Amino acid sequence: MSLDDTTSQRLPWGVAALLLATQDALAARFGAVAVRGELSGFTRAASGHCYFSLKDAEGASALLRCAMFRRAATLLDFQPADGQQVQLRGRLGVFEPRGELQLVVESLQRLGAGSLYEEFLRRRARLEAQGLFDAARKRPLPRHPQVLGVVSSLAAAALRDVLTTLARRAPQVRVIVYPSAVQGAEAPEALAEALRTAGRRGEVEALLLVRGGGSLEDLWAFNDERVVRAIAASPLPVVCGVGHETDVTLADLAADLRAPTPTAAAELASPSRDELGAALEARAALLRRAADRALQQRAQRLDALAPRLGQPAKALLGEATRLETLARRLTLAVSARRQRLVDTPQRQFDRLRHAAALQLQALAGRLEATQERLNAQDPRRVLHRGYAWVEDAKGRPVVSVHALQPGDAVRAVWSDGRAEARVTRLEPLPPAS
């Protein structure tokens, strides 16, 4: 075994040193490289830097992390998007905070649409030719649903957004969730089965199929033919709210109504409580006006019939006397009631003032006791009894002999003054038994 081998075994690499050595080896071995592949997960940060992954153009399960800094990104002559076939040139390196292989991109050129996007277009054309996207087969949503179903993942933020929106907008609507995976190889069959289950049970009036945003690969389950056909075969109207406003899936096209976001799907499927209240208020105003018109018409008829009654004075004389008696009784009752109402606030005010005085007296006693306790803790009272405290040159109290060294400057403080001193000798006492 050579000396170098022995040294390398005795001196293990540090993580940072190993990553730096790996980066140097990559730079020396590869230098600038040109790579072809398919864009995935492209994002542009507020700083102007771009981050994305490059998938193998032939469909192999290989992924390369890439970073394109603002200087290079400003030279792009097109808008990169997921699924595009590109050729890029850059240098391989190691992103030290995560220990990941990374390609720092210096130039990026578009070659054409990626394989996933091409497959999306082929499926869309085939299913459209079969009539699954026809506008004639779209069904209207119920205007005032009592129960809505939601097909989504229980852990998805989209489900929380939908439930929050429905609770705010239409709390009277009951919600039944049909859980399903929304991403991955098992997601298409799970989504189709959840749609079929909701249709068989028939316990809701409409379905919301929702998922948050993501790349083309993340949303690929909603482009699966099984999901599209399950939506088309559903006996219930389906509102599809998948991704963001710019994301379009085949499930969106097959649904009875497409919503730009999950939140928008909840808003489209449920009536607004505020809007319903305003509509009811408008209807109530119409009814009030109609009732006023009817009363006015009947009042006019009474005015027209009044002359036919002749002289009603004699018939009403007894009633007038009775009304006069009732009026006097009412006046006396109102007067007595008014007097009681006048007396009551004064009594309440007197009780409140007495209670406030007692409360203030109790608070004053507590304040005085607290002041006495604070005065008892005042260290200056201890100094008045002949004691002194010792502090170092920075004004910090010296609470132990072990905090001093011979030659240290100290200051002794009494109640009536202070003195500067210097430590000449230390005598620690033995600990108390």
User: 118: pLDDT confidence band, cut at 50, 70 and 90?
Assistant: confident
Q: Which two tokens stand for residue 5?
A: 């081998």
Q: Which pLDDT score is estimated for 5?
A: 54
- The mean pLDDT value of the chain amounts to 85
pLDDT tens digits, residue range 26-85?
877 888 889 988 889 999 999 999 999 999 877 678 899 999 999 999 988 888 888 888
Looking at 244-388, which runs of residues are DSSP E strands? 257-258
Q: Which pLDDT score is estimated for 311?
A: 59
For residue 81, give every residue at least 6 positions away whose Cβ sits within 8 Å of its Cβ, in sequence order, or none: 39, 42
Closest CA to 409 of 421, 394, 397, 391: 421
CB 104 within 8 A of CB 90: yes
- 395 sits in the region (left: phi over 0; alpha: psi -120 to 50; else beta) called left
Which of 134-138, 276-280, 315-319 shows the lowest mean pLDDT across its residues? 315-319
User: 427: pLDDT confidence band, cut at 50, 70 and 90?
Assistant: confident
Q: Quick one: what percent of the chain has pLDDT higher than 90?
A: 35
Burial of 105 (0-12, 13-18, 19+ CB in 10 A): buried
Whole-number Cα distances in Å, 159 to 164, 203, 205, 208, 222: 9, 19, 18, 10, 16
pLDDT tens digits, residue range 242-256?
988 777 899 999 999
Any bridge partners for residue 35, and if so which? 88
Closest CA to 102 of 110, 86, 91: 91
pTM value is 0.47
For residue 326, give every residue at least 6 positions away whose Cβ sits within 8 Å of its Cβ, in sequence order, or none: none
Q: Which pLDDT score is estimated for 3?
A: 43
Q: Quick one: what percent of the chain has pLDDT higher than 70?
A: 92
For residue 51, give every residue at least 6 positions away whose Cβ sits within 8 Å of its Cβ, in sequence order, or none: 41, 42, 43, 45, 65, 66, 67, 68
Q: Which pLDDT score is estimated for 1?
A: 45
Amino acid identity, position 261: T
Q: Which two tokens stand for residue 164?
A: 């929050």
For residue 357, give every residue at least 6 positions away whose Cβ sits within 8 Å of its Cβ, in sequence order, or none: none
User: 312: pLDDT confidence band, cut at 50, 70 and 90?
Assistant: low
Q: Which two tokens stand for residue 94?
A: 């190691």
Given a cut of 90, whether residue 218 has pLDDT beyond it is no
Amino acid identity, position 6: T
Given a cut of 70, whether residue 313 has pLDDT beyond it is no
C-alpha 163/C-alpha 165 separation (Å) is 5
Helices (H), 377-420: 379-384
Q: Of 213 and 196, which is predicted with more confidence?
A: 196
Given a cut of 70, whether residue 360 has pLDDT beyond it is yes
Whole-number Cα distances in Å, 26 to 5, 17, 23, 91: 23, 14, 5, 9
Q: Of 337 and 76, which is predicted with more confidence?
A: 76
CB 50 within 8 A of CB 71: no
Q: Which pLDDT score is estimated for 431?
A: 78
User: SS3 for 145?
Assistant: coil
Q: Which pLDDT score is estimated for 371?
A: 81
CB 241 within 8 A of CB 208: yes
User: 234: pLDDT confidence band, cut at 50, 70 and 90?
Assistant: very high
Any bridge partners for residue 92, and if so which? 103
Q: Quick one: how far is CA 242 from the chain centroid?
A: 18
Closest CA to 269 of 282, 281, 255, 279: 255
Highest-confidence range of 49-63, 218-232, 391-405, by mean pLDDT? 218-232
For residue 222, give every residue at least 6 positions away whose Cβ sits within 8 Å of its Cβ, in sequence order, or none: 191, 209, 211, 240, 242, 249, 250, 251, 252
User: 310: pLDDT confidence band, cut at 50, 70 and 90?
Assistant: low
CB 65 within 8 A of CB 53: yes
Q: Which two tokens stand for residue 402?
A: 């072990």
Q: Strand 417-422's sheet: what is its strand order? A: 389-392, 409-414, 417-422
Q: Which pLDDT score is estimated for 199?
A: 93
C-alpha 242/C-alpha 211 separation (Å) is 5
